[in-house]
Chain A
Amino acid sequence: MQGDRTLECGQSIEEFLAAIERRALRMAEIATGNREDALDLVQDAMLGLVKSYGNRDCVDWPPLFYRILQSRIRDWYRRNRVRNRFRVWLGGLRGHDGDEQVDAIQNLPDAQPGIERQLIGQDAMSELQEALQALPLRQQQAFLLRAWEGLDVSATAYAMGCSDGSVKTHYSRAVHRLREQLEGHWP
């Protein structure tokens, strides 16, 4: 159960965390779309690893760390879904309230993605980030852990809390969708 990227055994837990922290932050950021939340999630994952598994063999740290991080990301998704439902419900309730002023500016639609994309720029990372964020969470997790972090199938399955077969399916679908989406922008 090991990946091929972060495993230089003999390293201390501090060296391990320093080696993966930026990638972990970017992963959490891609998943949540929010840097502050991403920092909180990385903090939780680091604390969890150090407190519960700091004494484990260093080859176990990558899958354990990403298991905690992915679990926190899924919790974040669940909380956000409940919060958004509550907001929609509350918004509907306020919509029926005669005293509530309707803010015309707030109700304007967001900038169209195409225009926004032009403003952001057509660089490779913007395209990639957009494509990754459009993936279902499980596909996104499988792809980032396998392709970026370099975890093998069983370590990815452990980190995601699913079977090896599910990882292969999620990963394959993710690669297929990303290639479709990035075709024409990427070689």
Chain B
Amino acid sequence: MSDEKPFVDKVRQTLDQHADALDDVTAARLAAIRRNALDARPRRAHWLPAAALSALAASVLTVAVLINRDVDLPGIDMDALELMAQSEDLELIEELDFYDWLDSTQASS
């Protein structure tokens, strides 16, 4: 190995000189290739952690509001809403006139 060292050193030196003597046009093309490669590197989106944190905070806030809020909605009669949610009670409402008449008939008799 030590025997070949001067030879290998000479080879390296010659190759270095050859590489250093690259013409300007090729050197410029190499630099452009390097820049293009660097432009293609995957970029980290710096806004992503902040956005993720904001979304998490918004979700927590929404859940907290839903859990703690009063179930009564302003301007809505909850009894009527409950009645409307049941189909048999809807029929009762639709035939309310009939039941009024029935009541008055029974009262008079």
Contact = CB atoms under 8 A, between A and B. Distances in A.
B46 interface: no
A49 B18 CA distance: 25
A26 B27 CA distance: 12
A175 B4 contact: yes
B38 A26 contact: no
B11 to A, nearest CB: 6
Interface stretch (A16-24, A80-88, A94-102, A159-167): A16-24
A25 B4 contact: no
Given A17-B38, A50-B38, A186-B7, A42 B30 contact: yes
A46 interface: yes
A124 B18 CA distance: 10
Nearest to A35: B26
Contact of A46 (B4, B26, B34): B34
Contact of B11 (A18, A46, A128): A128
B42 A178 contact: no
B15 A26 contact: yes
> Chain A binding site: helix, strand, loop or mixed by DSSP?
helix
A102 B30 CA distance: 41
Interface in B27-78: 27, 29-31, 33-34, 36-38, 40-42
Given A22-B20, A175-B4, A51 B15 contact: no
B8 interface: yes
Given A50-B40, A186-B10, A18 B34 contact: yes
Interface residues of B, number: 28
B19 interface: yes
Contact of A43 (B17, B18, B19, B33): B33
B33 A128 contact: no
A54 B42 contact: yes
A147 interface: yes
A121 B18 CA distance: 15
Contact of B22 (A22, A51, A144): A22
A22 B11 contact: no
A1 interface: no
B12 A147 contact: yes
Interface of A: 13-14, 17-18, 21-23, 25-26, 35, 39, 42-43, 46-47, 49-51, 54, 124-125, 128-129, 144, 147-148, 175, 178-179, 186-187
